[in-house]
Amino acid sequence: MLNEVKEANRYLEGKDIVQENLYRVCFTILKLYHYQGMSKLSAREAIFEWATKNGIYIPYSVNSIIGYIWDYDKRRISECDSVRVSDEDIREINRRFDRKKTKLVALALLCYGKVYGDSKGEFSLSYAELSAWVGLGMSSVRKIYVPELIGFNYIATVNGKGAFHKHSKVLHQRTRFKLLVPVKDEGEHIVTEDVVAAADVLFD
């Protein structure tokens, strides 16, 4: 999630593929292909070859995803290996929440926001993507943990609306989040891709 190049390569090796998160899997692989300079046709052929090799059925319009990445997506692929988290970041989470799983989701959103957030602290992420990253059920993340973060003023949803491309399904709709706590890419603690392990240490 933090380093999209490494994330895509894990998917290409057949690792960490969660069915509910398949849209992101395909999107990230295709984003890597674009980064590597592949043509649209070569990328299309390559991802179907990968899908066949791994016994995966892609229920989305691959051409539409390719068209979006090649023609409209201006964001450079992320190669960020880690995020710095401060003692103040941890205090902001601990003062609001008791449950370790809620703290895990808060930490994940904080780290994602530090990498992908704009100047307003806003970023887009689907519940399928978030759930796959933290290893929790999507229903619990959507109905229990994120509402708790919102209720205690850790995050907010922007305009209460999500954003999704014409080729995506409701399951993969992205929600626009805004962090309501100070966000600075600095701190005493280093959080890598394994946010679950980081939460175990930081909130022990």
Average pLDDT over residues 141-170: 76
- 33 & 98 share domain: no
Q: Is the pLDDT of residue 163 over 60?
A: no
- Here the tokens at position 57 are 């059925």
- Residue 92: band (very low, low, confident or very high) from pLDDT cuts 50, 70, 90: very high
Q: Are residues 28 and 109 in the same domain?
A: no
Sign (positive/negative) of CA torsion 4, 135, 95, 161?
A: positive
Q: Are residues 113 and 25 in the same domain?
A: no
* pLDDT-derived band at 162, boundaries 50, 70, 90: very low
Contacts of 203 (CB under 8 A, 6+ apart): 90, 93, 94, 100, 103, 104, 107
* Whole-number Å distance between alpha carbons of 136 and 155: 19
pLDDT (0 to 100) of residue 20: 87
Regarding whether 162 and 90 lie in a shared domain, the answer is yes
- Provide mean pLDDT across the span 42-56: 97
Query: 67 and 111 in one domain?
Result: no
Would you mind telling me the total number of residues written for the chain in this entry?
A: 204
* Contact between residue 148 and residue 102 where contact means Cβ atoms under 8 Å apart: yes
Q: Is the pLDDT score of 164 beyond 70?
A: no
Specify if 78 maps to a domain: no
For 111-116, the CB contacts below 8 A with 24+ separation are 111/2, 111/83, 111/85, 111/191, 111/195, 112/1, 112/2, 113/177, 113/179, 113/183, 114/83, 114/84, 114/183, 114/185, 115/2, 115/78, 115/80, 115/83, 116/78
pLDDT band, very low/low/confident/very high, at 26 (cuts 50, 70, 90): very high
- 124 or 170: whose pLDDT is higher? 124
- 114-138: per-residue pLDDT in tens? 999 988 889 999 999 999 999 999 9
42 shares its domain with 88:
no
Looking at residue 10, its pLDDT comes to: 95
Residue 61 lies in a domain: yes
Across the chain, what does the average pLDDT equal?
A: 91
Q: What is the pLDDT of residue 172?
A: 54
- Take residue 199 and report the two structure tokens written for it: 């939460």
Span 80-93, mean pLDDT? 95
> 120 and 37, same structural domain?
no
Confidence of residue 169 (pLDDT cuts 50, 70, 90): very low
Q: What is the pLDDT of residue 204?
A: 85
Counting the structural domains of the chain, the total is 2
Q: In percent, how much of the chain has pLDDT > 70?
A: 94
Residues 109 and 175 in one domain: yes
For residue 12, the enclosing domain spans: 4-71
User: Are 96 and 194 members of one domain?
Assistant: yes
Q: Is residue 77 part of a domain?
A: no
Tokens of 175: 């929600």
Model confidence at 74, pLDDT cuts 50, 70, 90, reads confident
- pLDDT on residue 174: 82
Same-domain pairing of 122 and 178: yes
What per-residue confidence (pLDDT) applies to 159?
74
20, 36, 71 — which closes off a domain? Answer: 71
Residues 141 and 59 in one domain: no
Q: Say what the pLDDT of residue 108 is.
A: 97
96 plus 168 within the same structural domain: yes
